A and B are shown apart, each in its own frame.
Chain A
Amino acid sequence: EVQLVESGGGLVKPGGSLRLSCAASGFTFTDAWMSWVRQAPGKGLEWVGRIKSKSDGETAEYAASVKGRFTISRDDSKNRLYLQMDSLKTEDTAVFFCIAVDTSGYYTLDYWGRGTLVTVSS
């Protein structure tokens, strides 16, 4: 069974940093492309970024709203995905979901974690 468990959320002041972690199990993490999607309270879904597998170059792409402030990385030896968030703004307040991406050709957001809440407030 695929499991994705996010952690690391919490309260942080504007301008601060936070690192989210996602523990993956039940699939071959080394081969997986992974994404982060966020959802502000009571709002819709916003894609944050994606990282490819190491064999596909381990390249990361980001939404314009977070580019230059957020960094996605992975540790395949630990089956973990990370989201380093710097220069946080109040508008970054959201539940952040860790997602395993389909790579069979459709690139759908197949498996989702339950999310971790990040609150940016003074």
Chain B
Amino acid sequence: EIVLAQSPGTLSLSPGERATLSCRASQSVTSSYLAWYQQKPGQAPRLLIYGASTRASGIPGRFIGSRSGTDFTLTISRLEPEDVAVYYCQQYGSSPLYTFGQGTKLEIK
């Protein structure tokens, strides 16, 4: 089973700052099958990034996904107050079909 380890657990930054969220896979993950989701308080998750780096429909350009080997990164270039959420990475394909990271909680100071 592929394990996705997200770090940090919690990130506290000020508006306008850059946030860097990490997702490390225990084995090789096909880029096409790595996605990021945003879950705001009290809401269902929403797809942000798919294929490791492609923004989903309607997602602002400040959300950027990238990959280096088995490390995947979600960067939020200029934080806005509405970005407060828990962010999850997810891989598809290996048993179990879908695996999620444990999440990074983003707080805005």
Q: Which residues of A contact B (CB under 8 A)?
A: 35, 37, 44-47, 50, 61, 63-64, 97, 102, 105-110, 112-115
The CA of A37 and the CA of B97, in the complex, are separated in Å by 12
Q: Chain B contacts of A107 at CB under 8 A? A: 33, 92-93
Q: Chain B contacts of A35 at CB under 8 A? A: 98
Q: Are A106 and B45 in contact (CB under 8 A)?
A: no
The CA of A34 and the CA of B56, in the complex, are separated in Å by 19
B50 at the interface (CB under 8 A from A): yes
Q: Which residues of B contact A (CB under 8 A)?
A: 32-33, 35, 37, 39, 43-47, 50-51, 56, 88, 90, 92-93, 96-103
The CA of A78 and the CA of B44, in the complex, are separated in Å by 24
Most chain A C-beta atoms within 10 Å of own C-beta, residue among B50, B98, B99, B100: B98
Q: Are A106 and B51 in contact (CB under 8 A)?
A: yes
Given known contacts A109-B37, A109-B45, A109-B98, what 17 new A-B pairs fall within 8 Å (CB)?
A35-B98, A44-B101, A45-B39, A45-B45, A45-B103, A47-B99, A50-B97, A102-B50, A105-B32, A106-B32, A107-B33, A108-B56, A109-B35, A109-B47, A110-B56, A112-B44, A112-B45
Q: Chain A contacts of B99 at CB under 8 A? A: 47
Q: Are A108 and B97 in contact (CB under 8 A)?
A: no
Q: Are B44 and A61 in contact (CB under 8 A)?
A: no
* Contact of B100 (CB < 8 Å), options: A44, A114, A115: A44
Asked if A108 meets B102 with Cβ closer than 8 Å, knowing A50-B97, A97-B44, the reply is no
Q: Chain A contacts of B92 at CB under 8 A? A: 106-108
> In the complex, how many angstroms separate the beta carbon of B11 from the nearest chain A beta carbon?
16
Asked if A47 meets B98 with Cβ closer than 8 Å, knowing A106-B32, A106-B50, the reply is yes
Most chain A C-beta atoms within 10 Å of own C-beta, residue among B39, B92, B99: B92
Q: Which B residue's beta carbon lies closest to that of A111?
A: B47
